[in-house]
């Protein structure tokens, strides 16, 4: 038994010596320093490639919505004034003839187309005789009136005309005015009566966007 223990002790000593570094036996073992990382050389790294991402496609859709609004503008009208359209029916006196008439704010005086216009003299005064038709198959009315004066009227493309002026009663709706009317012998015009500013003044306002605003003319009734 003692020999076996001695043998084991010798083997243990031999193993420890084999673990020591080469050199003299019994030399102290220097501690091993930890490993130090060596920095990488940038030249050895692969080149960095820039990656450009494509921008997303943006579609702009423009929607235009149009709405039409009708705006009604109310224009104040003076009290007791009529509203007339560009075309109205007037009744002319004497004769009681109902005529399709053109309301013309550009004309200073009213004008009437007649047939067989004949001036004559009565009791030393100048008068005029003419016929007035409403365009129907009815016989024209014969009218005689004193001449107040004469006017010269110039129309584009025509010679100046000397026209007699008479006083007549014009009625539209329920309004009647005595005004001066110049007479012209003609039948080719669409409107036999042209109503000028001498009737419209202080009596009516005109809405050129409308026609036949007023109803059938009503002649004033005179008490006996």
pLDDT, residue 5, reads 60
pLDDT, residue 173, reads 86
Domains of the chain: 82-207 (2.40.70.10)
Query: Tens of pLDDT along 69-112?
Result: 455 444 445 566 788 989 999 999 999 999 999 999 888 999 99
Interval 192-203 mean pLDDT: 90
153 vs 57, more confident: 153
pLDDT, residue 74, reads 47
Reference 134, options 87, 99, 103; nearest CA is 99
92 vs 137, more confident: 92
| pLDDT at residue 131 is higher than 80 | yes
Tokens at 93, concatenated: 């006196």
Reference 161, options 196, 186, 138, 141; nearest CA is 186
Query: Tens of pLDDT along 15-69?
Result: 545 544 554 555 555 555 555 555 656 566 666 666 666 666 655 555 555 555 4
| pLDDT at residue 193 is higher than 60 | yes
Taking the model in full, what pTM does it have? 0.60
Q: Which residue has the tokens 């038994």?
A: 1
CA 59-62-67 angle, 5° bins: 165
């Amino acid at each position: 038994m003692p020999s076996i223990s001695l043998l084991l002790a010798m083997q243990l000593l031999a193993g420890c010596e084999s673990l020591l570094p080469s050199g003299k036996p019994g030399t102290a073992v220097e501690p091993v320093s930890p490993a130090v990382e060596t920095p990488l050389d940038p030249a050895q790294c692969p080149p960095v490639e820039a990656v450009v991402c494509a921008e997303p496609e943006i579609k702009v859709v423009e929607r235009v919505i149009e709405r039409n609004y009708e705006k009604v503008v109310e224009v104040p009208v003076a009290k007791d004034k009529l509203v007339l359209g560009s075309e109205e029916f007037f009744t002319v006196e004497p004769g009681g003839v109902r005529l399709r008439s053109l309301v013309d704010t550009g004309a200073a005086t009213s004008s009437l187309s007649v047939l067989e216009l004949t001036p004559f003299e009565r009791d030393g005064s100048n008068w005029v005789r003419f016929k007035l038709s409403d365009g129907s198959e009815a016989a024209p009315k014969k009218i005689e009136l004193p001449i107040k004066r004469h006017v010269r009227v110039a129309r584009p493309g025509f010679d100046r005309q000397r026209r007699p002026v008479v006083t007549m009663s014009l009625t539209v709706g329920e309004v009647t005015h005595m005004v001066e009317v110049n007479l012209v012998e003609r039948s080719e015009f669409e409107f036999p009566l042209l109503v000028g500013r001498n009737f419209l003044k202080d009596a009516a306002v005109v809405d050129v966007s409308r026609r036949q605003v007023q109803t059938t003319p009503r002649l004033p009734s005179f008490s006996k």
